[in-house]
Amino acid sequence: MELFRNLRINIIGNRKYLYFTSVVLVLLSIVVLIVKGGPNYGVDFRGGLLLQIETTPALKIEEVRSTLSAKGYTAEVQTFGKAGMFILRFKSEEIKPEVILEVLKSAYPDRDISLLRAEMVGPSIGRKLTLQAITLILIGMLLMLIYIWFRFDFRFGVASVIALFHDTLIALGIYTFLGKEFSVPTIAAILTLIGYSINDSIVVADRIREKLRAFGKVIPRNKIEEIFNSGVNETLSRTIITSLTTLFPLVAILIFARGTTIFDFALILTIGVIIGTYSSIGVVASIVTDWHKATLKKEKA
Amino acid sequence: MRSIFYRALIVLFVLGISLWTLWPTFRYYSLTTEEKQNLSSEYLSKLKKRALNLGLDLQGGMYMVLEVDKSKLSEEEAKGAEERALEIIRNRIDQWGVSEPIIQKTEEGRIIIQLPGVLEKERAEELIGKTALLEFKLVADQKTLEQTIKNIDDVLQKTWKGDTTKTYLTDILISFGGGIGVRSSEVHIFKEIINIPEVQAVIPAGYEFLFGKTEETPEGKIRPVYLVKKEPELTGTNLKTARHTIYQGQDPAYAGKPIVEIHFDKKGATKFAFVTGSNIGKQLAIVLDSVVQSAPVIEERIPTGDAIIRGNFTIDEAKELAIILRAGALPAPIKIVEERTVGATLGKDSIEKGMKAFLIGLIIVVLFMLVYYKLAGLIADLALILNAIFILAVMVALKATLTLPGMAGLILTVGMAVDANVLIFERIREELRAGKSPKSAVDAGFAKATITIFDANLTTLIAALVLLRFGVGPIKGFGTVLTIGILSNFFTAIFVSKIIFDYLVNVKKVEKLSI
């Protein structure tokens, strides 16, 4: 079977639309992040207490909220996974999980209420982690830039890293927009997504490099767009097939692993894979095309 | 032909080793609770040791990060306070009997404790944060000790009806430093024997076995064993001060050696004078948190409340003991800065759901490849399954821990695993379309795709290595899986697939590739 044979989509020729889409998405993500006051940092980062409880028969979310606030506890309450399962977040890490459990049990003696997970993180740990996360991501990106620079050329390196920022920002924007929590596994997800996105960009870059070589040293200016476009098109079927095979298991997690922490992890990766595929097809080659043209113009002048 | 044969041999060899490595994992996790009860604990613990480690988020348990509050210590005492706290905490957890706890110090001087299967949060907190218990206990004389060991072995003889495959107490005891000891690796056997009710019955009333600190000897790590009175003669509550110094007394055997001087308060001094006076010639064990620190022989009645603890200390050990005694406990208060408990049911749920997602994802990818690339898809599927086996085997071999994010990494690797094959297949298709013969299309396809695969995987590897090197906890686990995945991926896609393709075009000499 061949779904994507001899594709001749004029991607590079229409790059101004792609730029437009990307800029809009990036701006929207920035707006989301500003409005929401940054990513929705979980206990891992801002410190505090997180409890996951299960109530059978299921309590309503309002019941849990009002019971806690009646006893003077300010908690963010969220449903999680299946019915009757809740995540409670407290800003203070001084609260004892057993006490909270007792409050709920005595308010609803006819329910079976059990503690599934308790996480307490002191504020100093959170600060340290945030710093570590940002450093990790930047180090990863820098090393990749250096590698691409060394193996391909500087322009591809820069364009790929721009695409990485683009992908990360948009994935984070959508993730935050959906109200999902930013935790330690989220960083792992973002780093994976960076790895995935760069993987895609490299395959395209590789093909374009191969095409450029065929032209020797002098590449006719009017051929540039064509060369880049055919490079992108020839790798298009691979890019789409691989994205699909990566998305299959991710979607399987989204469907079958609700209520576990890998769900959020899979969610950000799913968003990331889609954005990453788009950017490696549309953004990276477009930037390098324009950069190439600009340098050629300069050399001419 | 020959080269294909040898390459296939390499793959089969690697596969064989992998399956052999994975066997205990498969065996251990497929056992039902009932079956586990029927197996000997020795066999089970051996099996578990060779099986894949599950993170706390998957098997349930407690994870704690502790910080030692050094604000009240002098600069000198603050040095190494974490090590001492670590030692004491390790001791206590050992006593508690948690299986395979992980207790380690981080670079920032924090202490990380992982207690798999432990859900009694409050008890764990209390155990770790409480003040250490210092006791002085009389050691049973040599005759009583020998008689007790003999009695125990007699009991064992009866229980096991002369079964020579079973271990007897005398089999594991080693004469050690004037007393007896047990190899560190056999401490659990000793404990098991002691805990048999019939054995308990022949231990003299009011006595118990206690372990000393692990000591490095030419014969390996050994823990001394003492038979001591349960009831302490004296406890640390009456201790006023303790300091380390150099021995100045008459005994030439200890000349110039570090010792610890202790000083009791008035009440303690009276008791101590009585205890020493009426037990001259006996050993008095100094016990901290149920571990014997040293057991000097009482040489004379000590009326002043001053005593010295001798032992084969280094100056640092003497210093350490003095500080521990003085503080009566942990060198400084301990603060829990991070704590995570995952219930066993949640962990089980995560595994079940994760496994389900993994299998379904795997099946979809396998079917998709089969439909899209036909016979070649089958080759990719084979590579994919080998990949999953290799990754798990390497994880077991490296004693890596599978965490929830690691599991996600594994699932994701499945999707990305076929990428290299997709790249190769697309190239081969292009070559075929250009009119090349199957053989040259395969060769050219592989050659061209290999460079791309190399570059693409290497950059992903950079991200994975950053996670592995700098990440903590679950992030590191994820980095491990991803790194192993990329490497294994490379091997299966380029090496394994190529063998099959070579076989098809060189040996079978197919006219048309099913791709």
Give per-residue pLDDT as tens, A149-187.
988 888 889 999 999 999 999 999 999 999 888 887 788
Question: Can you give the pLDDT at residue B499?
Answer: 92
Instruction: Look at residue A20 in the predicted model and tell me its pLDDT.
Output: 95
Residue B161 pLDDT > 90, yes or no?
no
Mutate to test the interface with B, among A124, A248, A273 (most CBs of B within 10 A): A248
Spatial CB neighbours of B165, under 8 Å, sequence gap ≥ 6: none
Query: Taking 70 as the threshold, does the pLDDT of residue B132 lie above it?
Result: no
Tell me the per-residue pLDDT of A259-288, one tens digit each, with 9 for 90 and over: 777 888 889 999 999 999 999 888 999 999
**What are the pLDDT digits (tens) for B392-442?**
999 999 888 888 778 777 877 777 778 899 999 999 999 999 999 999 999
Of B367, B463, B376, B457, the C-alpha closest to B424 is B376
Q: Which of B341, B358, B365 is facing A118, going by the closest CB pair?
A: B341
For residues B72 and B335, give the distance between their C-alpha atoms in angstroms, rounded to a whole number.
Answer: 14
User: What pLDDT is stored for residue A261 in this prediction?
Assistant: 75
Q: Please give the pLDDT value at position B58.
A: 83
With a cut of 90, say whether residue A293 has pLDDT above it: no
pLDDT of B165 > 80? The answer is no
- As a whole number of Å, the CA-based R_g of chain A is 24
| Nearest beta carbon to residue B478 from set A117, A188, A261 | A188
Distance CA B370, CA B380 (A): 8
Q: For residue B300, what pLDDT is reported?
A: 81
Say yes or no for a CB contact (<8 Å) between B364 and A255. no
Please state which of the ranges A68-82, A257-271, B74-88, B283-297 shows the lowest mean pLDDT. B74-88
Min distance A114 CA to chain B CA atoms (Å): 9
CA B410 to chain centre: 23
Give chain A's mean pLDDT.
Answer: 87
The verdict on a CB contact (< 8 Å) between A119 and B423 is no
Question: Mean pLDDT across the stretch B153-161?
Answer: 80
Average pLDDT for chain B: 83
Share of chain B above pLDDT 70, in %: 89
Whether the per-residue pLDDT at B327 is higher than 60: the answer is no
Higher-pLDDT residue of B329, B168: B168
Distance from CA of B34 to the nearest CA of A (A): 25
Cβ separation A116–B57 shorter than 8 A? no
- In this prediction the ipTM stands at 0.87
| B338 chain-A contacts, CB cut-off 8 A | 120-122, 125
Nearest residue in B to A236, CA atom: B426
- Give the distance from residue B82's alpha carbon to the nearest chain A alpha carbon, in angstroms: 18
A208-217, B116-125, B427-436 — which one is most confidently predicted on average? B427-436
Q: What is the pLDDT at residue A40?
A: 85
B21: pLDDT strictly greater than 70: yes
Identify all chain A residues contacting B423, using CB atoms and an 8 Å cutoff. 203, 238, 242
Check CB contact under 8 Å for B448 and A119.
no
Contacts 24+ apart (CB under 8 A), B173-180: B173/B149, B173/B225, B174/B219, B174/B222, B176/B217, B176/B222, B176/B224, B177/B215, B177/B224, B179/B224, B179/B225, B179/B226, B179/B295, B180/B145, B180/B149, B180/B224, B180/B225
Q: For residue A172, which of A143, A210, A133, A199 has the smallest C-alpha distance?
A: A133
Residue matched to tokens 């002691």: B194
The C-alpha atoms of residue A189 and residue A133 are separated, in whole angstroms, by 12
pLDDT (mean) for B290-301: 81
Answer yes or no: is pLDDT of B34 > 80: yes
Does residue B55 carry a pLDDT above 60?
yes
Residue A248: list chain B partners with CB under 8 A. 361, 364-365, 368, 415
Q: Report the share of chain A in percent with pLDDT over 70.
A: 98
CA B93 to chain CA centroid, nearest Å: 13
B177: tokens are: 């430093």
B418 in reach of chain A (CB within 8 A): yes
B373 min Cα distance to partner chain A (Å): 7
Structure tokens that stand for A17 in this block: 């639309």
Nearest CA to B229 out of B201, B211, B199, B209 is that of B209
Confidence category of residue B307, pLDDT binned at 50, 70, 90: confident
Distance from C-alpha of B417 to C-alpha of B403, rounded to nearest angstrom: 20
In this prediction, residue A125 carries a pLDDT of: 77
Q: Which residue has the tokens 């079917």?
A: B367
Query: DSSP 3-state assignment of B448?
Result: helix
Contact (CB<8Å) A259/B337? no
C-beta atoms of B364 and A252 within 8 A: yes
Chain B residues touching A239 at Cβ < 8 A: none
Largest separation between any pair of C-alpha atoms in chain B: 105
Does an H or E element contain A54, and which? strand A48-56
Looking at chain B, the whole-number percentage of residues with pLDDT higher than 90 is: 20
The pLDDT of A23-50, averaged and rounded, is 90
Q: Which of B122, B353, B458 sits opposite A98 (nearest CB)?
A: B122
Angle of helix B41-50 versus helix B2-30 axis, rounded to 10: 130
Tokens for B414?
Answer: 């499945």
Residue A5 has pLDDT above 80, yes or no: no
Among A17-26, B76-85, B171-180, B481-490, the minimum mean pLDDT is found in: B76-85
Contact list in A for residue B419 (CB cut-off 8 A) is 199, 242, 245-246
Structure-model confidence comparison of residues B325 and B378, the more confident one: B378
Residues 6+ apart with CB under 8 A from B292: B210, B211, B212, B213, B224, B226, B228, B285, B286
Residue B53 has, within 13 A of its CA and on its CB side, a CA count of: 19
Please state at what angle helix A184-214 crosses helix A284-300, rounded to 10 degrees.
40
Interchain proximity B412–A192, CB inside 8 Å: yes
Highest mean pLDDT among B20-24, B59-63, B477-481: B20-24
**pLDDT mean over A78-89:** 85
Kindly list the residues from chain B whose CB atom is less than 8 angstroms away from the CB atom of residue A255: 357
pLDDT at A167: 94
Q: Answer yes or no: do A143 and B466 touch at CB < 8 A.
A: yes
Comparing CA positions, the residue from A282, A199, A233, A227 lying closest to residue B482 is: A199
Q: In this model, does residue B262 exceed pLDDT 90? A: no
- Confidence category of residue A218, pLDDT binned at 50, 70, 90: confident
Kindly indicate the confidence band of residue B330, based on its pLDDT and cuts at 50, 70 and 90: low
What 3-state class would DSSP assign to A238? helix
Which of B84-93, B200-209, B374-383 is predicted with the least confidence, judged by mean pLDDT? B84-93
**Closest CB to A188 among B368, B374, B475:** B475
User: What part of A 184-223 touches B (C-beta under 8 Å)?
Assistant: 184-185, 187-189, 191-192, 194-196, 198-200, 202-203, 206-207, 210
Structure confidence at residue B441 (pLDDT): 93
Rounded average pLDDT over B2-30: 92
Specify the DSSP element, H or E, that contains B105: strand B102-105
Q: Which of B106, B121, B432, B466 to mutate to test the interface with A (most CBs of A within 10 A)?
A: B466
Distance between first and last Cα of chain B: 22
pLDDT of residue B442: 93
If you average pLDDT over residues B25-32, what whole number do you get? 87
Instruction: Give whole-number Cα distances, B22 to B26, B389, B395, B401, B493, in Å.
Output: 6, 8, 9, 14, 22
B330 to chain A, any CB pair closer than 8 A? The answer is no
Q: What is the pLDDT of residue B267?
A: 84
Token pair 């889409």 is found at: A21
**Edge-to-edge strand list for the sheet holding B258-264:** B239-246, B258-264, B306-309
Residues making up chain A, counted from first to last? 301
| Cα separation, B120 vs B127, whole angstroms | 11
**Mean pLDDT value across residues A200-223:** 83
pLDDT in tens, B332-382: 667 788 888 888 888 888 888 888 888 898 899 999 999 999 999 999 999
Q: pLDDT by residue (tens digit) across B446-465?
A: 999 998 888 888 888 888 88
Q: Which residue of B has its CA nearest to A160?
A: B459
Predicted model pTM: 0.73
CB contact under 8 A, A202 and B337: no
pLDDT tens digits along A102-157: 889 888 988 899 888 888 888 777 787 778 878 888 888 899 889 989 888 888 89
Q: Chain A closest CA to B86's CA: distance in Å?
A: 20
